[in-house]
Structure 1
């Protein structure tokens, strides 16, 4: 029996985030009871959307009943696609786009179960990948793996970065071995090597998505959360992830340089879900959009991004009413690469 074709066997690979984009996809906040102040959260989402729109086109998925109100905040330069969504995390519910270097594009639709069944309902979000890929008019590969885009980072050259606290979690993929998950990620994303970090089991919203811990910013270069002071809540977790990255090589056999940045530990909030990660920023055409917490670290991290991406403009956006939901700018965006 012939082996079923995968994106990898068909010659496709997920490009790095810094590769040229056709557009960005986002999802409008909807889940009642989740956001302390829904209107303020929507204003924060609109601010992120407008910051990205300065660099590239953007399409926002919006429930039909929210379309008019969303349009009033988003304006005429942001496209709206109506869809019966449940929540607002496009990185996780949305698809992964792949290209083949010959003008072809496909998309991967993983299963989505709201981070291990943490929120109900999630059937509308489970259908988001297909809705986006159909709107983008690209062929779809479906995977039976429960996975979220925030759980992977790729260098576009065959290396996939992920965490052991997330996809192998029994709330996602019971019965799947780590090896089987690794093989599926390679087949679906066009990867040759998977690097596993421990992750963060104490971050209970996503079970330790890699996009809050570490991310590729260039071939052979990974941006990673610094250890932080010894009394930092996640000091030992950060140390474990850094240790796991040290002396790693990528799919091409190159050593990997680590660039450490602090988190926003001094941002004042009483919500334990609050996302303090600067790693959770978004690279788009000609720009980097990062969170602004109103603290000293904002400027330090901005300088790091400017050094890493000298040809891009770094845009800071305050996101207190997004961070309180447990995610950041990377979590609410999903890139569609150019062919």
Structure 2
């Protein structure tokens, strides 16, 4: 892949989504997570939007999903296998026109979660979509990167240079790998991701391109935001960067969800940055603070005036470690 990965706001021919189907992982959150993903799928398949390919995860989930989505247009329920729903990380990254896709090794986010079938998701999606795969012999998750469509890639050192992924990687070594595999012309390096993020700081929870040269990033919201210092450092670093075209990076500041805790009141990595840019819409995860969510939606409307900005709850999905962007992967048109 010598041409850059298309930006997420470019037109899609389809959108893959993972269906929560493993009760042993989700426990009491299985049905709430299914309800949240159902709302996402129904928003994505609205008139003029996406053809959704919903991967079932295991055979016994298929009939239930078919019944649940009976009558929904533009939806294909795919008999695929995964360990869990995080297709952004386990699936391939599609190139221009989805003529080819890049597939990478996957090691359970640095060996944390070794789940059966996760290392075969790229192969399955390649086969199901009819897309030839270019395989690369290094470990990479799709959520670790964000793309502007012009060859600028945004990432974090905490994840990409973590020795639990590719031993001995430096910035130079990573860039040497990303140039031929994903058409990188310039890599922008941020530092740490969100506190307690088991992905080791995926950038799709931290900062996202919303237009060429424009990056959305959070600002602390409310009292006791556990990532206040992280957000400040991201804004500082971005303000000193230029993209592959040599243009200064402009920042779109958006409120964070503030403090979101688990049942033990330990901070969990809730992020509005895990929004999903779809044909005709932007789907924004929300976590219970309506005012923060509304301000995020207003901010995104300024850069996506022709798309509907749709806030949807994502607290149950978050219990598994991510949100809408993490469970999806687009096929560019």
* 3-state secondary structure, aligned to 1:322: helix
TM-score by length of 2: 0.92
CA distance in 2, matches of 1:287, 1:261: 18
* 3-state secondary structure, aligned to 2:175: helix
State the superposition RMSD in angstroms: 1.9
Alignment of 1:90-109 (within 5 A): 90-99=87-96, 105-109=99-103
* 3-state secondary structure, aligned to 1:92: helix
Pairing 1:298–2:290 present? no
2:201 pairs with 183, 205, 208, which one?
208
How far apart are residue 169 of structure 1 and its match? 0.9
2:30 pairs with 35, 38, 47, which one?
38
Please name the residue that 1:18 is paired with: 9
Pairing 1:337–2:328 present? no
Pairing 1:264–2:261 present? no
* 3-state secondary structure, aligned to 1:300: helix
CA distance in 2, matches of 1:40, 1:234: 27
TM-score by length of 1: 0.90
Q: 2:195, 2:268 within 8 Å by CA — same for their partners in 1?
A: no
- List per-residue Cα deviations over 1:258-282 (Å, max 9, x = no partner): 0111111155753646442111101
Alignment of 1:1-339 (within 5 A): 7-8=1-2, 12-35=3-26, 36-54=28-46, 55-62=49-56, 63-77=58-72, 78-99=75-96, 105-122=99-116, 124-200=117-193, 202-228=195-221, 231-265=224-258, 269-270=262-263, 272=266, 274-295=268-289, 296-338=291-333
How far apart are residue 228 of structure 1 and its match? 4.8
Change (3 A) 1:214 1:47: same
- List per-residue Cα deviations over 1:64-87 (Å, max 9, x = no partner): 221111222233432111122110
* 3-state secondary structure, aligned to 1:279: helix
Change (3 A) 1:28 1:38: same
CA distance in 1, matches of 2:323, 2:287: 11
Please name the residue that 1:4 is paired with: none
**Stretch moving more, 232-241 or 306-315:** 232-241
Change (3 A) 1:76 1:59: farther
CA distance in 2, matches of 1:275, 1:289: 18
Task: In structure 2, list runs of 5 or more residues that go unmatched.
Answer: none
CA distance in 1, matches of 2:183, 2:120: 23
CA distance in 2, matches of 1:299, 1:151: 27
How far apart are residue 292 of structure 1 and its match? 2.8
CA distance in 1, matches of 2:40, 2:223: 33
- List per-residue Cα deviations over 1:221-246 (Å, max 9, x = no partner): 00011145684212122222222211
CA distance in 1, matches of 2:283, 2:35: 16
- List per-residue Cα deviations over 1:105-125 (Å, max 9, x = no partner): 210111111211111324x11
Number of residue pairs the alignment of both structures matches: 325
**Stretch moving more, 40-49 or 226-235:** 226-235
How far apart are residue 253 of structure 1 and its match? 0.4
CA distance in 2, matches of 1:204, 1:309: 28
* Higher helix content, 1 or 2: 2
CA distance in 2, matches of 1:304, 1:246: 18
